Amino acid sequence: MNNPWWRRRKKKSPWFSDIYDELERLGDMIDETMQKAFDNASEDAPLRRNRVKGFSIKLGPDGKPMIRELNDRQSFHDELEDSDELEPLVDLIEESDMLVVLVALPGVNKDDLDLRVTANCLTISVDTAEFEWYDEFKLPARVKPKSARASYKNGVLEVKMQKEKIVKDGKISMKK
């Protein structure tokens, strides 16, 4: 059973032998490349910062996605440092019959906050001259939207929502 699957398959089906030959060459190239990488790596080599290549997507206050491309010369930490946009700290606390969402929004007036609650989603948006922020949070349990109560003190928004209860076979449980 030491033979790779394509070698065993090649013996059974000569029609696709070219594909299996290519797979074998590709496997050999990967093995050779990995061996060179391990041979060239030394313990004295300085550690390099991880690099990120890709993109990040954030939803803007207008509901349109903002796509930002990250390249291989720009580390993720540099991307965060270069950004003028600060994301508020958000904490979701799940209690037995309540969901509590805490959001740090220093310097924001209570009148600039817009909250919307559905059975499974909380939407928070802030729109001021200095700061714009919009986010939707999928809640881990269904809630009663009319039970939502919000308070804003010292730059901390607290939203409390009561979980929906379901009765099944005489037992009360919280709906997920």
How many other C-beta atoms can be found within 10 angstroms of the C-beta atom of residue 26? 10
Which residues sit opposite 163 in a β-bridge?
Answer: 143
Residues 20 and 53 occupy one common structural domain = no
The pLDDT assigned to 74 comes to 47
Taking the chain (176 residues) in runs of 10, the rounded mean pLDDT of each run is 60 63 84 81 57 62 70 48 66 90 90 93 90 89 93 93 75 58
Residues 108 and 137 occupy one common structural domain = yes
Residues 19 and 71 occupy one common structural domain = no
The pLDDT assigned to 79 comes to 46
Residues 142 and 106 occupy one common structural domain = yes
Q: 116 — phi, psi (to 5°)? A: -140, 135
Contacts of 96 (CB under 8 A, 6+ apart): 174
Residues 170 and 96 occupy one common structural domain = yes
Residues 9 and 53 occupy one common structural domain = no
Residues 79 and 94 occupy one common structural domain = no
The pLDDT assigned to 172 comes to 57
Owning domain of residue 10: 5-39
Angle at 171 between CA 170 and CA 176, to 5 degrees: 135
